[in-house]
Structure 1
Amino acid sequence: MSEQAERSERDDHVVLGKLTSPYGVKGWLKVYSHTGPMDGILEYSEWVLRQGSSLSRHRLLQGRRHGKGLVALLEGVDSREAAESVAGAEILLPKTELPQLEGDDYYWHQLEGLTVVTRDGAVLGRVAYLFETGANDVLVVKGDPQGEPPAIDDRERLLPFLPDEVIVEVDLAGGTMTVDWDPDF
């Protein structure tokens, strides 16, 4: 697959989770979900599976909680051997199928790549990724003085995603996030 095709594929889909391993002998698979709540992944009736550079579509026939995790049965996966062949695949969803959010709610993928700027105009870098803690989500902002626009340094900063406290404004169209943050911290 060409680099441009891979970039387009990444731009068009969001990763919802991963098929980890077979469960039983009838094609069921254990599922690791990135959605919140965990079983929100089961609300999507069709999954796009990515294994390496290949994509395949599968209808979700059944899914349920099992212990602390999830298990699912997909159309066309009806034996342990078939389940083994798709184990390890990422579960994708076209971004166009995500529910519309209201107000100041954002999907994480919308925040990744935004340029982070302080109220005073200092460029801290770009949002590399986010992670969840017990209290709040955290932005990982990586500085790049050679980037466009250039950051003030090459530090990695962890900023709490706290709207109206740390996060002043999110401008998805402009590709920026304004924060109330001391660059020395």
Structure 2
Amino acid sequence: MTPLKPEDYVVLGNISSVYGIKGWVKVYSYTEPMDRILEYGSWTLRKGQDLILVEVDKGRSHGKGMVAHLKGVDDREVAKQYSGYEICVPQDRLPELPEGDYYWYELEGLAVVTTKDVRLGVVDYLMSAGSSNDVLVVKGDQHCADRRERLIPYVDQFVLDVSLEAGRILVDWDPEF
């Protein structure tokens, strides 16, 4: 079996700190709903080049976040060593999406071009705008007339086409916005 490369993993959240004295950790989840992160059972924790495979044996919602217990970690001081790690899973463990739906990581790095063929930059990341919609954060690059950052709502009115193969997103967006 070929070892996985860093780009073969998708970040689902991170461990922010410890919780209690029995080895639990606080988890910030990027999944929707946030407790879906617990369904993976095992996580690859990553900090820089450091990768650690752990098994989650318990977890639950806690306030606005999550807490989880890692199998075999029953002490606060041992759990503390995992603070600051990203929670990752191999891409091939993600559920397949319906046609026309995309994971955020698939959109990051795509060029954003207007219907008038003006390049606005590349998708740096996405953010949630609550229940209404997600937002593309587009950063201007060396191929743009300017280096501005733009926030473009990820809705059908503005995002007309996504082509992973071509590496671009076509938008109906005024470059002056």
Q: TM-score, normalization: structure 2?
A: 0.92
1:142 is the counterpart of 2:139: yes
* CA offsets 1:73-118 (integer angstroms, 9 cap, x no match): 1123121121111122111111111111002211111111001111
Of residues 168-177 and 89-98 in structure 1, the stretch that sits farther from structure 2 once superposed is 89-98
2: CA distance, partners of 1:128 / 1:68: 26
Q: Which of 170, 173, 184 lines up with 2:162 in the alignment?
A: 170
Assess if the C-alpha contact under 8 Å between 1:51 and 1:86 holds in 2: no
Change (3 A) 1:81 1:128: same
1:32 is the counterpart of 2:28: yes
1: CA distance, partners of 2:72 / 2:39: 19
The aligned amino acid for 1:109 is Y
Residue equivalent to 2:58: 62
In structure 1, list runs of 5 or more residues that go unmatched. Answer: 1-7
Q: Which of 51, 55, 75 lines up with 2:47 in the alignment?
A: 51
Residue equivalent to 1:22: 18
2: CA distance, partners of 1:143 / 1:162: 21
The aligned amino acid for 1:110 is E
Q: What percentage of aligned pairs have identical amino acids?
A: 53
2: CA distance, partners of 1:142 / 1:34: 22
Query: How far is the alpha carbon of 1:66 from its aligned partner?
Result: 2.1
Residue equivalent to 1:89: 85
Q: TM-score, normalization: structure 1?
A: 0.88
1:107 is the counterpart of 2:103: yes
Q: Which of 136, 154, 163 lines up with 1:161 in the alignment?
A: 154
2: CA distance, partners of 1:49 / 1:76: 15
The aligned amino acid for 2:147 is D
Residue equivalent to 1:152: 145
In structure 2, list runs of 5 or more residues that go unmatched. Answer: none
The aligned amino acid for 2:103 is Y
Q: Aligned pairs, how many?
A: 172
Residue equivalent to 1:4: none
Assess if the C-alpha contact under 8 Å between 1:33 and 1:39 holds in 2: yes
Of residues 165-174 and 63-72 in structure 1, the stretch that sits farther from structure 2 once superposed is 63-72
Q: Determine helix, strand or coil for the equivalent of 1:86.
A: coil
* CA offsets 1:150-169 (integer angstroms, 9 cap, x no match): 22321111111002x10110
Residue equivalent to 2:125: 129
Task: Give the RMSD, CA atoms, in angstroms.
Answer: 1.3
2: CA distance, partners of 1:30 / 1:154: 37
